[in-house]
Amino acid sequence: MKCDCLSITFLVIGCVLLVEAGCQEQAKLVEAPEAPVKAPEVEMAAVGSSPPETAPVGTSKPKIVVTDTQPAEPEAEKKGPRIAFEKEVHDFGAIGPGRAQSCEFNFTNTGDSLLKITEVSKTCGCTPYTLAKKEYEPGERGTLKVKYSGRKYPGPLTKTLYVSSNDKTRPKVKLTVKGNVVLKVAHEPKELRLLLDKENAGCPDITLRSLDGKPFAIKQLRASGDCVTADYDPSVEKTKFVVKPKVDAEKLKKSLNGRINISLTHPECDTVTIPFKALERFTATPPRLNIFDAEPQKPTKREVWVLNNYGEDFEVDSVSSKKGIVKVLGQEKVGRRYKLVLEITPPAVKGNSRIFTDTFSVNIKGGERLQVACRGYYPRKKSAQR
């Protein structure tokens, strides 16, 4: 009996110790901090790339692969002819005056049908062009060759051409040619002011000077109406010339305004142009007569004054009218001027014409003549009321 009680006692003590050990182990698990859970890495795979390798079992860094399965946008369809230029602006940069320049505009038919160039228009006749043909198959290339004849005076230049075709997306393409004309040979004076009452018309010497240090020779000198000449040796080359012009006064009276063109051998300047203007001996004020709201057969009076610009005494020899529309009612000499009283009679209207013209001439004793233009305007007819 005593032994049974002792066995029961040891059994109870063992159970108590076992429960206590379990509680201690649970307490350790609660106190220990949890390891942070790391977010899985996400790898984006490009469309068309090889599939990623599967992560090995047991690794702590699994990879999630997301594949973009959206198809690429298809290329735009090329329907019809398409004209595509490599460039649409050509800049010559600095060029010498009077120099001919040329450039090319290359293009390709990038469409899928026959390209037809219908027209090449230009702003003026100084930009001629050449085009081998006007029809181009898909993928075929062409060249528009443009030539520009440089002007004589300095400054920026811009010319345009328009290429029209059956390309519905760009039926008219604008091409631009530009540059800057720069003087290579300077001249003084820039303009000649001449006087009929002075010896040699008061014409000064003309100085030509190379701006880039390149020597040149004078090949030719020509003036409007051949009223100005000069002596020069075309075999002599220098970087500076002093030209002494000779003016023919009688020829100058017939060409009061004009230009002197001097041809040179300079590689970047083949011509120098110098304008000239001579003060005319006589002027009429006003220089033209305008009649507004003219009535047929109803005369209108006007006055015209004739003046000698050099203060010289003169006489009016006769007057005349080309069509007889203008008549002189009277003339009076006032000092060294003449006052003419005119009568202008508009003629009957012919057809739908609203304008009439005439030329009134004043003949000066000594051979010179003044011409005064006359122009009249009839009022516009009012439309009949319905």
For residue 312, the 8-state DSSP code is: -
- Per the CB < 8 A criterion, the answer to whether 374 and 286 are in contact is no
**Mean of pLDDT values over 308-337:** 92
Two tokens, residue 317 = 């020899």
CATH (one of 1.10.10.60, 3.50.50.60, 2.60.40.10, 3.30.565.10) for 83-181: 2.60.40.10
C-alpha distances out from residue 380 to 225, 345, 354, 357, Å = 43, 18, 7, 17
Calpha distance 10→29 (Å, rounded): 30
Q: What pLDDT score does 76 carry?
A: 54
Extents of the domains making up the chain: 83-181, 185-279, 282-377
Q: Across all residues in the chain, what is the average pLDDT?
A: 82
Q: Which CATH architecture has domain 282-377?
A: Sandwich (2.60)
**How many Å from the N-terminal Cα to the C-terminal Cα in the chain?**
151
Look at 147-161, 202-216, 366-380 and tell me which has the smallest mean pLDDT: 147-161
Banded model confidence at residue 8, pLDDT cuts 50, 70, 90: low
Two tokens, residue 292 = 């507004």
Calpha distance 235→212 (Å, rounded): 20
Q: What pLDDT score does 10 carry?
A: 53
Instruction: Flag whether pLDDT at 63 surpasses 70.
Output: no
For 70-217, strand residue ranges (E) read 83-85, 89-95, 100-109, 115-122, 129-131, 135-136, 141-149, 155-165, 172-181, 185-188, 192-195, 206-210
DSSP annotation string for 35-74 = PPPPPPEEEEE-TTSPPPPPPPTT-S--EEEEE--PPPPP
Instruction: Flag whether pLDDT at 220 surpasses 60.
Output: yes
Q: What is the pLDDT of residues 224-235, one digit of tens each?
A: 999 999 999 999
Instruction: Flag whether pLDDT at 335 surpasses 60.
Output: yes
**Mean of pLDDT values over 343-358:** 90
| Of 255, 147, 153, 275, the residue nearest 206 (C-alpha) | 275
Calpha distance 44→255 (Å, rounded): 87
For residue 170, the 8-state DSSP code is: -
Q: Do 185-279 and 282-377 have matching folds?
A: yes
What share of the chain has pLDDT > 70, as a percent?
Answer: 77
Banded model confidence at residue 383, pLDDT cuts 50, 70, 90: low
Q: What pLDDT score does 93 carry?
A: 87
Q: What pLDDT score does 259 carry?
A: 95
Q: What pLDDT score does 37 carry?
A: 45
* Higher-scoring residue by pLDDT: 379, 57: 379
Q: What is the pLDDT of residues 101-150, one digit of tens each?
A: 889 999 999 999 999 999 998 776 567 889 999 999 999 999 999 988 76
**Mean of pLDDT values over 1-25:** 49
pTM score over 0.75: no
- Per the CB < 8 A criterion, the answer to whether 178 and 90 are in contact is yes
- Residue 128: asked if its preceding bond is cis (omega within 30°), the reply is no
What number does CATH give the domain 185-279? 2.60.40.10
| Of 329, 310, 311, the residue nearest 319 (C-alpha) | 329
